Amino acid sequence: MPSLQHVVKDLLASGAVEVVIGYEKAPGQNRTRPFFARTPEDADRLVFDFSALNNLAVYLTRQKRPAKGKIGIVAKGCDARAITMLMQEQQLTRDDVHVIGMECSGVTAEMGADLSKDTLAAKCVTCKVQTPPLADTLVEGPKDYERPDDRNGARMRELEAMTPEQRFAFWAGEFDRCVRCYACRQACPMCYCEQCVAEKNQPQWIETSATLRGNIAWNVIRAFHLGGRCVGCNECERACPADIPLGLLNRKLGMVAGQEFGYAAGMDASAPTLVGTWDKSDRQEYIK
Amino acid sequence: MKMPTSTWNPKIVAFVCNWCTYTGADLAGTSRLKQEPNARLIRVPCTGRIDPVFVIKAFESGADGVLISGCHPADCHYNTGNYHARRRWTLFHNLLDFVGIDSSRLHFSWVSASEGKKWVTVVDGVIDEIRARGPFERYQKANSEFALPPALFEAAAKEVQQHA
Amino acid sequence: MEEKHITGEHLTAFASGLLEKGYILISEAPDGTGFTAVKDGASVNMNTAARPTKASFKQQVFPKTEPVFHFHKTVDDVLLFDPLPHTQKTVVFGARPCDAKSISIMRKVFNWDYKDEFFNARADNTVVIGTLCKYSDETCFCTSVGLSPSSTDGSDLFLVPLDDGGYAVKVVTEKGQQFVSENPALFGEAKAGADAVAATHPGPAQKFDAAQVRTWISQNFDHPHWAELGQTCLGCAQCAFSCPVCHCFDIVDEPDSFLEGRRMKNWDACQGGMFTKHASGHNPRDDQGKRYRQRVSHKFSYYPERFGEILCTGCGRCTRGCVVGVDIGEIAAGIAGLA
């Protein structure tokens, strides 16, 4: 079974790809960070373990691509779904990338921690893609891990059981902390618009100031624009300097997509996008 | 400058498509059907044109409720605009419900050009429901976070009247 | 510097007394998000062994958004209304040295040529009670930018927790002196031991020599190293928004209707692509490498050059929060290595 370093070395040496986007260990620290391997020697710096938190697919969006030619990318299951989704939305063709799929046994919620049941990232608790659904080369590895209770699921049920007034109060309290840095957007592989709706000012739809009014508008619209597109990598929540539980909003829309349309984002590169298509039999009980 | 009013009447913003619901509402008018006057109609070419930011903007501008209405399925002037819109609405109204803007504040309907009567029923129903629920205070509180401080409001209002 | 002693109970009584006098007390929120107002003296958070909160108390003196004026259009005129001046007195309780220092750093730029009355009103009404920091991790580097876990710089009063459960109180400024004078029953004679406690918390090892970094930056504007630094940065700007001393802002008109609205002063950050974009579409900092050069240069070269202060307190927030692991301490150390 070829190792990650071996695979990357071959790809770079043969010229099959121009660069490989992967992870390297941050010196002296218990964490990894994105790394662009450009020469076969660079391949030795690549690592993959429970601290490979980043969804590297964000570097495949047009503005952030590290090379013009073919790109190799190290991808966990969730990252591979983002790559697939980019293909579904015609942002990438299958030939633009060489996906090095990594079998994954979970990553930690935060940088620096060791992996345990308590430090496991929320997205890994309900993960169904330990083996990436899309890969040109698959690097096998451990893919079993102990899963704690679904804390976020319990939190969602708690929120859903509240009255609308209580839910609004909860989210107003969360959104109130938003500083409008747009880190959520920048960290998201699906937020690739050349100009974001938040930055349009003729007319200006979303208030720029970090007032509660503007923050509600921004956070609701950000979540909506990811409806049926979010693959649940949760990078937005991890990037948020205000600790707003954005993942819950994304998960809610993911659930609606699943329940109402039997749809999961980024599982099939040839499938149409959820809101890019329609069906005569779509449910409509709520329409008078 | 907004003056405080003593009697409250709900403000409803209705986004309606040009081909069906707007024409249906027009029919209600020319047929002299009686309806409550609280809905402000905004005519758009097609329900597919309705971006959810319109709804947010309506609430930001002080709407107590929003109604979205267009052609029945299979009736769209552009063939599929309402089918696309329907998918988006399913996501959007679930999301809004999740953040505490429940279905009593956001309504959807299909009203064709010949359904003047249905339009009256829908609008009156929406207005009744929102009247029963009262003003959308929790959103309007967010809107007025940085309003002119009350201590300055009266002086400002006076000055504005002088210039009027 | 005068030194006093206060017991744990007296500290609570002191805090409660301030609340009764109408002060707002803010301290690190237990959930780690930022500084929040406390309701009673006993809830003041003095635990500095925990990780610093994600946000500093910058918002206290420089809010993320605030109205500069309100406007109203009439038939033939535009009327402007000033917001009410900020007069609420606030005490920041238990600030670590890397946070306490922030006001005095930002005060320089906000009073350089134009006097920013919004900042000054808030800063003048804020009293900072600093405290010895017991936390340190691989992202901290206060010792490399002229601070330390026991540095009193920027605090009005500085507390060092002693083994007896009380605190040594260092009276740093007039504002601090006033608090002590107003409460003669609470502040007792100084007890020995503060230096010994401070010695057990030396803080992180020094990572770089700031003077070397400054020199190298001033001579290497076009060095290829800058482009490398910008490679993985996503331009999310959380670094600037969580920084205790980043102070760039944007001015935006927010209309409520066609007739009225307000002009707002909002946080902005040099890491975003829109920051330097001209109306023509031209952008002098058109890639992330140039933007990252600006961030590092402003902090370690331009600001010290103009104001004599490094625009960084070594708190480590930018590094801790960075999704792609960009480490400004490591970068500064790397630059010092090139010098």
Q: What is the mean pLDDT of residues B37-44?
A: 94
Which chains are within 8 Å of A by 3+ CB pairs? B, C
Question: Any alpha helices (H) in C208-327, and if so which ranges?
Answer: 210-219, 225-229, 238-242, 288-297, 303-307, 317-321
Given a cut of 80, whether residue C61 has pLDDT beyond it is: yes
Contact C70 B159 (CB under 8 A): no
Contacts of A181 in chain C (CB under 8 A): 236-238, 240-241, 267, 269
Annotation: CATH topology of B12-163: Rossmann fold (3.40.50)
At A238, the pLDDT band (50, 70, 90 cuts) reads very high
For residue B145, the model assigns a pLDDT of 84
Domain residue extents for chain A: 19-139, 151-261
For residue B87, the model assigns a pLDDT of 95
A260 to chain B: closest CA residue: B90
Given a cut of 70, whether residue B6 has pLDDT beyond it is: no
For residue A112, the model assigns a pLDDT of 74
Domain residue extents for chain B: 12-163
For residue B3, the model assigns a pLDDT of 46
From B116's Cα to the closest Cα of chain C, the distance in A is 32
Given a cut of 80, whether residue C220 has pLDDT beyond it is: yes
Per-residue model confidence as pLDDT tens digits over C90-110: 999 999 999 999 999 999 999
Contact A278 B88 (CB under 8 A): no
For residue B39, the model assigns a pLDDT of 94
Per-residue model confidence as pLDDT tens digits over B109-159: 999 999 999 999 999 999 999 999 999 999 988 888 888 777 777 777 777
What is the β-pairing status of strands A46-47 and A71-75?
unpaired
Contact B100 A249 (CB under 8 A): no
Q: What is the mean pLDDT of residues C221-250?
A: 93
From A36's Cα to the closest Cα of chain B, the distance in A is 37
ipTM of the complex: 0.92
Q: What is the mean pLDDT of residues A264-284?
A: 93
How is C113-131 classified by DSSP, letter by letter? SS--HHHHHHHHTEEEEEE
Determine the Cα–Cα distance for residues A276 and A233; give it in Å rounded to an integer.
Answer: 22
DSSP conformational letter for C206: P
Nearest CB neighbour to A211, from listed C65, C326, C330: C65
Per-residue model confidence as pLDDT tens digits over B131-145: 999 999 999 888 888
Contact A180 C64 (CB under 8 A): yes
Q: Cβ(A61)–Cβ(A117) under 8 Å?
A: no
Determine the Cα–Cα distance for residues C318 and C247; give it in Å rounded to an integer.
Answer: 14
Per-residue model confidence as pLDDT tens digits over C139-192: 999 999 999 999 999 999 999 999 889 999 999 999 999 999 999 999 999 898
Q: What is the mean pLDDT of residues B82-91?
A: 95
**Quick check: C113 contacting B, CB < 8 Å?**
no
Contacts of C266 in chain A (CB under 8 A): 180, 208-210
**Distance of alpha carbon B95 from its chain centroid, rounded?**
18
Tokens at B77, concatenated: 């002037």
Tokens at B25, concatenated: 């509402």
For residue B5, the model assigns a pLDDT of 52
Per-residue model confidence as pLDDT tens digits over A248-268: 999 999 999 999 999 999 999
Average pLDDT, chain A: 93
For residue B1, the model assigns a pLDDT of 44
Nearest CB neighbour to A282, from listed B56, B86, B108: B86
Tokens at A20, concatenated: 């490989």
Residues 177-216 of A with CB under 8 A from C: 177, 179-183, 185-187, 199, 207-211, 214
**Quick check: C260 contacting B, CB < 8 Å?**
yes
